[in-house]
Structure 1
Amino acid sequence: MTPDSHLLSHALQLVQQSLHDCLQDDPILLWQLDPVRNKLRFFSEPVFRTLGLNVPLLFQNGDYLDRTVLEEDREALRDALDKMKMQKHTGIFFRIRDEDGCPRWLIMLGMPAPETPFSYIGVIGRCTRMLRRVTGEHHGMPPESIDWLSSPAMLVSFSTWKIISANRSARDLCGQGENVPLEDVFAISEDLKAAIYEGLTFSRRWQGVLRVRKPGGSVLPCSVMMRPLSQDGQHCLWIRLTPLLAVDPTIPDVREETPLPDLSAASGERELLRLVLRNPQILPAAEGIILSRIFPDENRVSVTCEGTMFTNNMEHVDFPYIGSIAENIVRFSLDSLTVDETSRSIRPIDWALFIPQGVRSYYAEPWFGQNGIRLVLIFCSPRGGAFSDVRGASLHRLVDAFARRLNELDTHRTLRNIL
């Protein structure tokens, strides 16, 4: 091998490693469009979870596009989408604002599918880090990005739990500025801190409902989202507050995570499902709930439905594990699964179970035991897109409590059968 070929080989390895790193940081989604049937298909779950971006809605909902895409990029993106519907080659870089108000770059490419009439294929991917590497931009978050948000947001030191900066909305809401302990904004117990640390460690976010102390002594319930980030070499928390408008003054000022329903009173599986469904603080949009017990080795899942929306409140009805929600969760290492419109799904279980039961959208959360996935709890709605805004809402505590109580009931039933 000549020196030039050695150099070329080394350069190729660097390029390959760089592309590998970029794709790990900024994954891509593959999709297929049928312009005749107006059907959009994704080959993986079409959500960039860390951005809070629902990709199909970019294609399907103009209002969502206007809310999500930066104004200066909207017209170009609409033109690109029109070209795709007309089956023309197209490619575009465009920017969105993530949940924290920071601009993020995405790339979308599309072309007619070779040798497949009336089919169009494409990719959409995050490319912020790749563009920053190319342009040499600083990797940190611009401090002024807090002020881009109309909703209250603040930056807090992870070590001192004091406010580093807050935007105008946060200052107006809390009456607090910089260098103020977070406990002066809302009470944070040691148990809650532990829950926050756990969420930040394993999910890189924590989300819950807290009571914010307003000037004058009044309190306001807010949905609070926290994320870790590094700013100028300092470990920080990015906190975003969303005031909950429907304030009930009789609600106790607990300033904790959403309280769990008392499941100890349930004497059976179906009653356990009813207790969860009747708690509006869990997922208010849910009008039905499904328990899916998972038996991968037997290639089956056992389904029980509860709720007035269902045409048939089936109990312990078996469906194949292959093609189920559980298989999808395990295959793609998902922590949850949201489907906004079952009629556009290609998942077999959606057509075998959900559509016949009148379910148009659902949110599913799994529970894993020592030997793998054991159950999936599925919140259902007869309306499309009912759970599209449940971005990262943590139901882990609820599902864990549900699974523990279900195990207790199973154990009691087994003992009764033996005796």
Structure 2
Amino acid sequence: MIAMHNLDISGLISRPDLSREDLLDYIDTFPALLWRIEIARSRIEFLNSQHIAGLGDRTGLFMKSPEFRTLMVLPEDLHFLEGFMEAMKEAKAAECIFRIRDHEGAVRWLKLVGWTHPKDLRYYMGHLLDVSGRAEAIKSIIEKDAELQLMIELADNPVIILDFDTKQVVSQNMAASRLFLYSPDEFRNLFLQDLYHRGMTNMVHRLLNEIIFSKKWEGKLLFERKTNSVFTAETSTRFLIFRERRLLRVSLTNITASEPRQEKRKGRGKDQGGHKALLGQDLLARLDGLSDMDSILRVMLDHQLPNFSFDAILFSDIHARKNRVYVYAAGQPFASMACGEMYSYEGTVAQDIERFKLDYLIVDETLDSIKAIDWALFIPKGIRSYFAKPFYQRGVLRSVMILCSLHPKTFLNEGLSEYSILFEPFQRAVQAWRSAQRCSRMKA
């Protein structure tokens, strides 16, 4: 091996009390083979003295001799190493992982990494280290995930495997087929969006964004069968990797809805009523205990309606005698708006509702409006239509809930019964918020 005094380390010493000898000792004992090659002359001009398990005192020979590499590396992994060597000749950054057999016949995993010197392209440097421990850990995780794939048929509860990237169903057990009323062949042509209720769209999107990092998600979701009947279920979702494929394992328990045959017997009108009640109860449960308006509105935004989706939701806190309206919002169009932004009561949605004694107000196209608030608040945020519902306290207008859409003519008079799903949960949540506000003022 080349002696280490040939290595220029003048730019590497960052502490005045760290001597050249200390740094050289650190490099020599670093738990990897460190090397540097002069590309033009095809020669190794530096190696430390580290021994790699499986290579022993011949570790340095691995970087020097192609014949030795061919002898040590498993034949099926040689192409990885050859690709690395080609990249090294072209002075391109590269890395590869491959396996060798040690003198006892055991397989070990090695990782080779190389890069050019940013200030001197004549040199290519890198390291070789043993990563067997990490490889075995990864292998163990993959094997466990494979067991989950194989065990779905043994589960008593419905279990579904989906491709994470395409969101298409990969497989499901019989319990899932019976629950959703699809045949096995039909099931495998479905996508995730075919299974959950459209009111859960925002929540599912958030789940998918978070699960890559958290690996697991558990909560209650609303699903829809082939017959359009709905049910809620405690949902345990796990992100896993099997044979380099990203998968989503969805397990359903505590299913809370009538059996499909009973629902069919009830008739369409009753089924729709039960559906709405279920959505309202689910929203009440999600809002229970919340008194922070930002959190309240985010939950309501996630709880989309079956047929009338909205892009944002506003709460207007009305103080007509003081000529003030404080506006709170959730949704991307209002992401830059301050919490509790103040507007004059004159020219607001609330004033129109009170002046004309309206039960609700629908604006089909804000661009056709002459209301000051539409041009001051809604149009600059891209809102094209909205539905507004007033709420009174002791006969005085105190709150307005506004569902907003980036598209014109989103809300219809015929949808009132569906919008009403949100009324009671919203009213209760606002009461909880007002109580928290009073307590806060009393403490102050």
TM-score normalised to the size of structure 1? Answer: 0.39
When Rg is computed on C-alpha atoms for both structures, the one with the higher figure is 2
